[in-house]
Amino acid sequence: MATDDNSGKDLTAADSGAGHDPANAGTAVVVRDAVDNPGFPPHRPRVTDLNPSAERRAERTVYTLFYLSIVGSVFAIAAYMAFPIVETDPGSVRLNNLFIGLGLALALLAIGIGAVHWGKALMSDHEGIDVRHPVRGSDETRARAVEIFAEANEESGIGRRSLIRNSLIGALIAFPLPAVVLFRGLGPMNENPSELLTHTMWTKGTRLAIDPTGTPIKASDVTLGSAFHVIPEGLQDLPSGRLEEKAKAAVLLMRLKPEDLNELPERAGWSYDGIVAYSKICTHVGCPVALYEQQTHHLLCPCHQSQFDVSNHCEVIFGPAKRPLPQLPIAVDSEGYLIAQSDFTEPVGPSFWERH
């Protein structure tokens, strides 16, 4: 077991430090380990220590790896020029990324592997001990530190000039406030967020339209087993906030056999001849629920596998969602187009602060 000079000193210093520390009866700690230090296993020379040709071979491997790294770097540059990204051809991105990546990977891996191999096979491998320094400073150092603080306090006057100190603390507290105000600006302004979450674009008489074209839907177009992805008519013409409105107003329209539909008595007039419209926004965390199975009439949310039974007013039959999907009351206007009777009668989507 070889210890270098520094380590030897440190070891004695550490030991003497521990010895001098006066320990109270209550906080005394057993310093010595019950298990004896087994020490290092006997030093075993490597092949490269004994066999000069093995040593030369290891050296050759290391510098070959470093040369390979240079080749990799050059290859990456060459690949960047040889496989440019052509805007009209998505396949060119693939070749460009692949070959640049391969070159860079070779360049970096070869340096790493070469360095590790160098360290393991060629660098001196005798075992040594570096003992940790004691964490606690010497008494002089500690006294000097206290002195420095006292001196700084004296010179700056931070303890004495309380007006300066307090105004500085105030300034530091005020500094992050603009960020808070700026972040607030990302949310809806001059409007109550809970009010916004409670209402959607649907109103009495809004026609149901096909996503994305905005073509209004006639009741006769919705054949049995159909599923229509619906937006309110006029959504595409909104000057701004189209996505925000769509995120709340998206609706799935389905036609079931009227006898398959088990409607709540208070929602008796909400469907039309087996056509029902439900919010597409999951009541769990707001994913679009649109995996409709037309034979079982089950709706599956792809994010967390909540299942809703369309034939049974979209009640939750599986998964983490707690509320049924809100139903949009629909009717037919004089021209045969499907219209909303009103907005959703409850907020769509997941719970928020004012809604549990």
Partner 1 sequence: MTKTNTPKPARVRKSGRRSPLASVALIAIGLLFTGGAYALFSTSTASAQTDASSQQTIGEGQKLFASNCATCHGLGAAGTGSGPSLIGVGAASVDFQVGTGRMPMQMDGPQAEKKAVVFTDEQIAALAAYVASLAPGPAIPDARYLDAQGDSAKGAELFRINCAMCHNVAGAGGALTEGKFAPALDGVSAQHIYEAMITGPQSMPVFNDMNISPESKRDIITYLKYLENNPSPGGYALGSLGPVSEGLFLWIFGLGAIVGLTVWITAKSN
The smaller minimum CB distance to partner 1, of residues 37 and 213, is found at: 213
Which CB, 31 or 116, lies closer to partner 1?
116
Q: Which is nearer to partner 1, 92 or 198 (CB)?
A: 92
Residue with tokens 């329209």: 253
Which among 121, 148, 126 has a CA at the least distance from the CA of 56?
Answer: 121
Q: Map the footprint of partner 1 across residues 224-263, applying CB under 8 A.
A: 224-229, 254
CA distances for 203 relative to 212, 233, 327, 328, 343, angstroms: 20, 11, 14, 10, 5
Q: Check binding of 221 to partner 1 (CB under 8 A).
A: yes
210, 285, 331, 332: residue in contact with partner 1 (rule CB under 8 A): 210
Between 110 and 254, name the residue whose CB sits nearer to partner 1.
254
Nearest CB to partner 1, comparing residues 79 and 197:
79
Binding piece for partner 1, criterion CB under 8 A, among 85-93, 176-184, 265-273, 326-334:
85-93
The distance of closest approach from Cβ of residue 70 to partner 1 in the complex, given in angstroms and rounded to an integer, is: 22
Among 17, 274, 288, 350, indicate the residue that binds partner 1 (CB under 8 A).
288
Contacts of 34 by beta carbon, 8 Å cutoff, 6+ apart: none
CB of 121 to partner 1, least distance (A): 5
- Please state the closest distance from residue 100 (CB atom) to partner 1, in A: 13
Residue 336's region, left for phi above 0, alpha for psi from -120 to 50, else beta, is left
In this complex, which beta carbon is closest to partner 1, that of residue 283 or of residue 307?
A: 307
Distance CA 142, CA 177 (A): 39
Give the single-character DSSP code of 307: E
The three-state DSSP-derived secondary structure of 20-83 is: HCCCCCCCCCCCCCCCCCCCCCCCCCCHHHHCHHHHHHHHHHHHHHHHHHHHHHHHHHHHHHHC
Least distance (Å) between residue 328 CB and partner 1? 18
Beta bridge pairs of residue 330: 340
Is residue 299 a contact partner of residue 252, using CB atoms and an 8 Å limit? yes
Q: Is 342 in the site for partner 1 (CB under 8 A)?
A: no
**Binding piece for partner 1, criterion CB under 8 A, among 24-32, 185-193, 288-296, 326-334:** 288-296
324 close to 316: Cβ distance less than 8 angstroms:
yes
Contact map string, positions 289 to 328, toward partner 1, x by CB under 8 A = -xxxxxxx-x-x-x----x----------x----------
Min dist CB 120 to partner 1, Å, is 4
Residue from 120, 136, 144, 257 touching partner 1 (CB under 8 A): that is 120
Shortest distance, CB of residue 182 to partner 1, whole angstroms?
Answer: 33
148 near partner 1, rule: CB under 8 A: no
Number of residues that bind partner 1 (CB under 8 A): 42
Sheet holding 307-309, edge to edge: 291-293, 298-300, 307-309, 315-318
- Whole-angstrom distance, CA of residue 308 vs CA of residue 288: 13
**Distances from the Cα of 119 to the Cαs of 7, 54, 113, 124, 352, in angstroms?**
22, 15, 10, 8, 58
| x-or-dash string of contact with partner 1, 42-81, rule CB under 8 A | --x-xxx---------------------------------
Residues that bind partner 1 (CB under 8 A): 44, 46-48, 90-91, 93-94, 97-98, 116, 120-121, 125, 210-212, 217-218, 221-229, 254, 288, 290-296, 298, 300, 302, 307, 318
